[in-house]
Structure 1
Amino acid sequence: MASRVTDETVFAAALAVIAEQGYERATTRAIADAAGINEATLFRRFTSKQNLLRQAVRGNFAGFALDLDAPGDDVAADLLTIVSYYSRLYETRGGVVLTLMREAKFSPEVASVLAEPETLLERVDAVILHHQRRGALVVEPPRHTFFALVGPVMMRAIARRVDQRATQAPADPEAVVRRFLHGHGL
């Protein structure tokens, strides 16, 4: 008797297929094949492609702990927490993150799944606002600060995905925060 394929295996397969083909073009058959199960089993366990994606996003991105519940007085430490989180995320799941971000604009199914990760960004916004109010960061819309902070990490991960010959190492979160504070700190 064959062993049961774990949800984590199915989630990884779903995210890999979606990263490669996009959500709309990724078929449940392709996802099931990549996971090593049949399509009927996929539907029995997850009921729909959207539900599978929702559970995969929850399961995979929840594994990236981001403790931002109580920002402190050390702006560099809080920003390092954020950059380290997004660095790990983009290096391991960057392809699917970028694919889903692009497709959310046109797909209500994808947009609804990404509503949960949006709450994480709201927590990041709160940390940034906290440090702006303390006078530790330049005052600007928090999301602008966020993109300026994680932009180098995201672009490095994109470059590594696009250019197979890229020899750059992943971004160093401490160096990213140091450079960021040089231009955005007060």
Structure 2
Amino acid sequence: MHLLTEGDPTRRRLLQAALELLAERGYRGATTRAIAERAGVSEVTLFRRFRSKGALLREALRGLAPPLSPPDPNAPLEEGLLGLLEGYLGLLEANRAFLPKLLSELLRHPELRGEGVPEGMAEALGRVVGFFRAKQEAGELRKDEPPEELALAFVGPLFARFLLGEVLGVRFPLDPKAYVRGYLEGRHGPRRRG
């Protein structure tokens, strides 16, 4: 789990500690005392920077930045999709312990969600959608679906597979090339390449 770069190191430590404890102990267990202790500051310092635990946790969630590099829009379509798949699977694996707990807490405590998509996630998603849009404009993907839906259709099943695997305690094997070929079936544009 990565936070957007924060200039103030104390603030960054508080945000990181808040996310870690939210994942480890849930909303109720992530007390301000425990967060301050993990960050190496006093509770007074925590409350000087954030008016409440909820405000701190919402800010930490807004600053999440997935370490996901979108594919180069000039890369061949299948190569770009394989790169995106690799990055996405790496992101899921790196956050294996964090994501299911985070989702659970967001469902139980809607006040954590705040307004809109967290900034770091929105930026990463925008770059990924940009790849699909560029491939539509190049005629490599059909244009009858919005690029956002194309992106969601690519990563959505991976996320569902990951969550189901976590719930069942099973790792489902995945052949990346077969996944990409299956995704592209029926989605190639009129100028099919390659």
Task: In structure 1, give the amino acid aligned to 2:153.
Answer: A
Cα distance, 1:182 vs structure 2: 2.5
Partner of 2:140: 136
**Partners of 1:179 and 1:44 in 2: CA distance:** 51
Choose from 133, 155, 168 the match for 2:160: 155
Cα distance, 1:47 vs structure 2: 3.6
Per the alignment, do residues 183 and 17 of structure 1 end up closer, same or farther by CA in structure 2, a change over 3 Å counting?
A: farther
Choose from 107, 113, 118 the match for 2:122: 118
**Partners of 1:116 and 1:109 in 2: CA distance:** 14
Choose from 176, 181, 186 the match for 2:184: 181
**Partners of 1:74 and 1:128 in 2: CA distance:** 12
Deviates more, 1:126-135 or 1:19-28: 19-28
**Partners of 1:108 and 1:175 in 2: CA distance:** 38
Q: Percent same amino acid at aligned positions? A: 28
Give the alignment of 1:29-178 within 5 angstroms: 29-31=33-35, 35=38, 40=43, 43=46, 47=50, 49=53, 50-51=55-56, 54-55=59-60, 58=63, 61=65, 64-68=67-71, 70-93=72-95, 94-95=99-100, 98-99=103-104, 102=107, 106-107=110-111, 110-111=114-115, 114-139=118-143, 140-164=145-169, 166-169=170-173, 171-178=174-181
* Alpha-carbon displacement from aligned partner over 1:130-166 (angstroms, at most 9, x marks no partner): 11122211220122111210122101210122113x1
**Partners of 1:11 and 1:145 in 2: CA distance:** 33
* Alpha-carbon displacement from aligned partner over 1:162-182 (angstroms, at most 9, x marks no partner): 113x1434x454442222112
**Partners of 1:147 and 1:7 in 2: CA distance:** 33
What TM-score do the two structures reach when normalised by structure 1? 0.67
Per the alignment, do residues 118 and 137 of structure 1 end up closer, same or farther by CA in structure 2, a change over 3 Å counting?
A: same
Task: In structure 1, give the amino acid aligned to 2:125.
Answer: L
What TM-score do the two structures reach when normalised by structure 2? 0.64
* Cα RMSD (Å): 3.9
Per the alignment, do residues 124 and 73 of structure 1 end up closer, same or farther by CA in structure 2, a change over 3 Å counting?
A: same
Q: Secondary structure at the match of 2:182?
A: helix
**Partners of 1:103 and 1:118 in 2: CA distance:** 22
* Alpha-carbon displacement from aligned partner over 1:45-92 (angstroms, at most 9, x marks no partner): 96464446645764x635x14144x51151112222322222222233
Cα distance, 1:124 vs structure 2: 1.5
Question: In the alignment, is the contact (CA less than 8 A) between 2:85 and 2:176 conserved in 1?
Answer: yes
Cα distance, 1:101 vs structure 2: 6.4
Task: In structure 2, give the amino acid aligned to 1:146.
Answer: A
Per the alignment, do residues 52 and 181 of structure 1 end up closer, same or farther by CA in structure 2, a change over 3 Å counting?
A: same
What is the aligned length? 175
Partner of 1:18: 22
